[in-house]
Amino acid sequence: MRRPRRVGGAAALVVLIALGVGVPAGLLAGCGWTDAHEMPARPPASPFGGFSVTWLPGLTHRLDIDSSGQLLGPPIIRNQSVPGVQTGILSREVWNFGPTTFRSLFIADEAAGGAEANPSAAWVTVGWRPEAVTNISAMIRDVDSYVNAGCGQIEVIRDSVGGRPAIVLRHDATTSASSLRLPGPVPAGLRYQTTLAWIDGTGVVLAVDLSGPSYPDVAVAHRIADGIVLAGTPPRPT
C-alpha cells in the first residue's frame, strides 16, 4: 500500500482513517520530526490496536495489551517474566488514556545488546478516544499530582511532535512507589525511563515509553514516533 499523501488538512485525514488507510502519526501531528539519529531498524511490527510501528532501534515485538487490559502473548510473557514488564509503563502510571487504549511492547534481543542496550525496552501506546487526557497542560498537572502523591520523581520537559505540543518525562524507576512495580530490585537495564507523549490533530493521544541502563535518548523516541502508522479505531474486545 502506498503511503497516503497530504490531501487537504484534518478533514481529509479523518476520511483516510475512516476508509482504513494507514496514516503516519507524524502526518496527523503536522509535518513530522526528522532531526533524529539514524540507527539500525527492524522490519515493521505486526499491526495491533489499529496502529503499527514501522521503525525500531533493534527491538523485537514481544506482547500487546488490549483495551480491556489483557496481556496478549506467550504464557511466559503474560507471567511478567521478560524485560519491560517488571517496571511498569510510566505513561500508564501517570495518565488515564481511556478505555480505547492499546499498547505494544518491544525489547532488545541478544544481538542488539539485550539488557545492556539503550533502549532495552519500548512500549508504544495509542489512546483512540481519551476521556481525561485532553491537552498538554492537563497532562503536566497529572504528572505534578503523581509526584506530589509520593509515587516517584519525574523530570518534565516540554517538546513537540510534528508541530504539536508534546511532553517528555525522565524517570528513575527506583524512585517509584513499591506498589507500582513488581517485588524485588529494579533491573539495571530498565532503571531509567524516557517517555514522549503527545495528542495528534485528531485528538488521539500517543506515547513512546523507553527504558534503559541510562536515560534513553529522546531522539530515539521521536524516531519511533515518526514511524507510528494509524489505521483506525479497532473494535473493543468482547
What is the per-residue pLDDT across 50-100, written as a single tens digit (0 to 9) for each? 999 999 988 988 888 888 777 776 554 444 445 555 556 899 999 988 889
- Domain extent, residue 201, equals 9-230
Residue 169 placed within a domain = yes
Main-chain dihedrals φ then ψ at residue 208, nearest 5 degrees: -120, 115
d(CA 136, CA 134): 7
| Residues 197, 160: Cα–Cα separation, whole Å | 9
With 60 as the cut, is the pLDDT of residue 196 above it? yes
**End-to-end Cα spacing for the chain:** 30
Please give the average per-residue pLDDT across 25-48, as a whole number.
44
Does residue 217 lie in a domain region?
Answer: yes
Q: How far apart, in whole angstroms, are the C-alpha atoms of residue 20 and residue 122?
A: 26
pLDDT at residue number 35: 33
Which CATH number goes with the domain that contains 47?
Answer: 3.40.1000
The answer to whether residue 238 sits within a structural domain is no
Predicted pLDDT of residue 206: 97
Instruction: Select from 136, 233, 120, 231 the least CA-distant residue to 186.
Output: 120
CB 231 within 8 A of CB 4: no
Q: Could you tell me the CA-to-CA distances from 164 to 159, 161, 197 in Å, in that order?
A: 9, 5, 10
Predicted local confidence at residue 172, as pLDDT: 94
What domain count does the chain have?
1
Compute the distance between CA of residue 48 and CA of residue 67 in angstroms, rounded to an integer. Answer: 11
Q: Say if 184 falls within a structural domain.
A: yes
Q: Quick one: pLDDT at residue 19?
A: 32
Element (H, E) at 84: none
* Residues across the chain: 238
Task: Give the model's pLDDT for residue 135.
Answer: 92
Name the least confident of 41-50, 129-138, 158-167, 178-187. 41-50
Residue 190 CA to residue 100 CA, distance in Å, equals 27
Residue 4 lies in a domain: no
Q: 170 lies in a domain?
A: yes
Q: Is residue 85 part of a domain?
A: yes
Q: The whole model's pTM is what?
A: 0.77
- In the predicted model, is pLDDT for residue 181 greater than 70? no
| Domain-embedded: residue 86 | yes
pLDDT exceeds cutoff 80 at 176: yes
What does DSSP assign to residue 126? E
**pLDDT higher at 23 or 129:** 129
pLDDT, one tens digit per residue, over 90-146 is 999 999 888 899 999 999 876 555 668 899 999 999 999 888 778 999 999 999 999
**pLDDT range class, residue 31, cuts 50, 70, 90:** very low
| pLDDT interval class at 32 (50, 70, 90) | very low
Query: So what's the pLDDT on residue 88?
Result: 67
